[in-house]
Amino acid sequence: MFIINSVSSIYRTLSGGTLRDIALACLAVWFIGLSYGAIAVASGFPLWVPAAQSVLVLAGASEFLFIGIVGAGGNPLAAAAAGLLVNARHLPYGLALPDMTGPDMTGPDMTGPHMTGPGRPVKRSMKRLLGSHVMNDESVLFALAQEDLPRKRAAYWACGLGVLLCWPAGAVLGALIGSVIADTGAFGLDAMFPAVILALIVPALRERQLRRAALTGAVIALATTPFLPPGLPELLALFAIAVKRKPA
Amino acid sequence: MKDPTLFAAGLITLSAGTFAFRLAGPVLRQRISFPPWAERLLETAAVILLAALVATTGLTEGHHLAGLARPAGVCVGGVLAWRKAPFLVVVLAAAATTAVLRLLGIP
């Protein structure tokens, strides 16, 4: 069971401070998952939608985008396209990271002799697939912040597996809580959704060029909402990308 | 969720496509390099999409502007987030503001 090996290896490799930071990041992910699940059922989706998405997509912002557009009556394929655009950042992440699941030293199991023997190539490719799936903003940031490759790998797997557990756990619990609330409007749950996304992009908005582009995009989306089917205004907002080319 | 097949297609597209992006980086690492401007372009696109979603879900309902309660709640959340309040505080304050305004009869 390479997950168990991974966990003990991570524990030996990482400092207490890093482990604590990773735990806090996972806790934050759990909270966001909680609001995500509650919002999804409040927007009229059955429980399995946030549950399945949280495991299969495992990328919060794109899941919010998908739920937001489809919940407003938009085309699911347009919503998927918008979500994929948001998730395209995982490609440069993978290019920037050193090998987290290489063929020589595979993932966090680089200490023991248990990585040799028959049947390992299958295990290795499984690990490569899982290692790719747990790539997210948090695991990449923690990996890049470490000094050497063993620590980078340990941090990547610790955070990646932590998010893989916490995000769906939060989403399912949130969906369960959300489904027992009868009148979501009275509790202001509809304000939670934009507030969550706003909180997620505020760090980026502190940068002047990104803020200008974001504001322009928001204005484009608002101006076109009265005339276009749901989902399209958000995609049309991408024209705001031209704003960032002007000198600040 | 009007058309379950179309919904499933959207969900599968998003899941499979996201996984493909995640897998592509490690596989292509030795063969291509991603220029910083392209990385920047992706970041900008993501922020624009999410900002547009904040605007439409925060301020509109269907094809019209929403009432006052929800935009007010989102504004309170936004100000708190800008002032680096904890995530939980941001989200609960937004919901509470909207709930209180509705309690007072403001839609």
Can you give the residue range of the structural domain that contains A22? 2-182
Query: Does residue A53 form part of some domain?
Result: yes
Taking the Cβ of residue A163 and every Cβ of chain B, the question of whether any pair is shorter than 8 Å is answered with: no
Chain-centroid distance of CA A35 in Å reads 14
Q: Indicate whether A51 belongs to any domain.
A: yes
A127 in any annotated domain: yes
Shortest distance, CA A80 to any CA of chain B (angstroms): 5
CB atoms within 10 A of CB A188: 26
pLDDT at A27 over 60: yes
| Interchain CB contact of A42 with B (< 8 Å) | no
Say what angle helices A189-205 and A60-71 make with each other, to 10 degrees: 140
- Is A156 inside a domain boundary? yes
Tell me, what's the pLDDT at A111? 46
Beta strand ranges found along chain B (DSSP E):
60-61, 64-65
| Chain B environment of A246 (Cβ under 8 Å) | none
Percent of chain A with pLDDT over 90: 45
Give me the phi and psi of A46, to 5 degrees please.
Answer: -70, 165
| Inter-chain residue contact B74 with A195, CB threshold 8 Å | yes
- Which is more confidently placed, A175 or A229? A175
Output the tens digit of pLDDT for each of chain B's 107 residues.
678 999 999 999 999 999 999 999 888 887 877 788 888 888 888 899 889 989 998 998 878 888 899 999 999 999 999 999 988 899 899 999 999 999 999 88
Domains held by chain A: number? 1
Task: Give the closest of A35, A68, A132 to B53, CB-based.
Answer: A68
**Does any domain span residue A221?**
no
**Whether the predicted pLDDT of A248 surpasses 50:** no
**Close Cβ partners of A142 (under 8 Å, ≥ 6 residues apart):** A18, A21, A22, A25, A155, A156, A158, A159
Please state the domain extents for chain B. Answer: 1-33
% of chain A residues with pLDDT over 70: 86
Looking at residue A119, its pLDDT comes to 52
More confident residue, A7 or A219: A219
Of B6, B22, B78, the CB nearest to A198: B78
Classify residue A80: in a domain, yes or no.
yes
Identity at A5, one-letter amino acid code = N
Per-residue pLDDT, A242:
87
Preferred mutation among A184, A198, A224 to probe B, highest tally of B CBs within 10 A: A198
**CB contacts < 8 Å between A and B, how many?**
287
